[in-house]
Amino acid sequence: MSVRNSHTTADYLDWNVMLNLIRKLYRDSDYRMSLFIGCGCFFGIRVSDLRKLTWAMLLQNDMFVINEQKTGKRRIIKINSDFQKHIQQCFEALEIKNMDEACFLSRKNMVMSTQRINVRLKEIKRQYNIKIDNFSCHSLRKAFGRKVFESSGENAQMALVKLSELFNHSSVAITKIYLGLREKELLETYDLLDF
């Protein structure tokens, strides 16, 4: 929860930091949070949609379909084959019996709330000394966007167009602002000055 009249924007989680974090969480038997962080970064969907995921959606095929809660739009998500192995490992470690069970259940056997997930992320940030200022559920979606953009090389503009569509933004300019690229570009202007 942010302080009234303050400006807090989720920062993106660095991809390599994320990969190390999900491995450490798995090693420490925090299988659900390992999976949650992985799903957030590999699928690029909002927490409201992550909370609806079931084991059947993640394990019965190499893709699944969701209707985004915020937009109502249908979206097809392809599951990275290496990440699907991690999903299977979490499934087995948790000894899940019901494939239709939600993936992100609390100890009370209810789907974790967004607020609870954000509290857990802040605890994880402290526990694992993660270098990120504003870490929340939205950091994972931004990590997906940054990784796609940074991996695109010479096709950066096309990557922004695709991300704009995936994120359901009204323009590429909005996507650049969302990923923090616009501010970075503007700040680089100061480096052009000589002294």
Spell out the SS3 assignment of the chain: CCCCCCCCCCCCCCHHHHHHHHHHHHHCCCHHHHHHHHHHHHHCCCHHHHCCCEHHHHHCCCEEEEECCCCCCEEEEECCHHHHHHHHHHHHHCCCCCCCCECCECCCCCECCHHHHHHHHHHHHHHCCCCCCCCCHHHHHHHHHHHHHHHCHHHHHHHHHHHHHHCCCCCHHHHHHHCCHHHHHHHHHHHHCCC
Does residue 40 form part of some domain?
yes
Split into its structural domains, the chain has a count of 2
The whole-number pLDDT of residue 1 equals 46
* Together in a domain, 32 and 126: yes
- Distance from C-alpha of 2 to C-alpha of 48, rounded to nearest angstrom: 19
Q: What is the mean pLDDT of residues 11-21?
A: 94
In a domain, 7, yes or no: no
End-to-end Cα spacing for the chain: 43
Dist. CA 175–CA 29, nearest whole Å: 36
pLDDT band at 2 (very low <50, low <70, confident <90, very high): very low
Q: Are residues 23 and 112 in the same domain?
A: yes
The model carries a pTM of: 0.84
- Residues 179/145, Cβ–Cβ less than 8 Å: yes
Lowest-confidence segment of 21-25, 44-48, 147-151 by average pLDDT: 147-151
Q: pLDDT digits over 128-185, tens only?
A: 999 999 999 999 999 998 888 888 878 877 877 887 778 777 788 887 777 877 666 6
| Angstrom distance (rounded) from CA 181 to CA 186 | 9
124 and 59, same structural domain? yes
pLDDT at residue 182, rounded to an integer: 66
Same domain, 106 and 158: no
pLDDT at 181: 74
Please write the tens of the pLDDT for every residue from 51-95: 999 999 999 999 999 998 988 888 899 999 999 999 999 999 999
**Do residues 121 and 81 both lie within one domain?**
yes
Q: Which amino acid is at 37?
A: I
**What domain range includes position 158?**
152-192
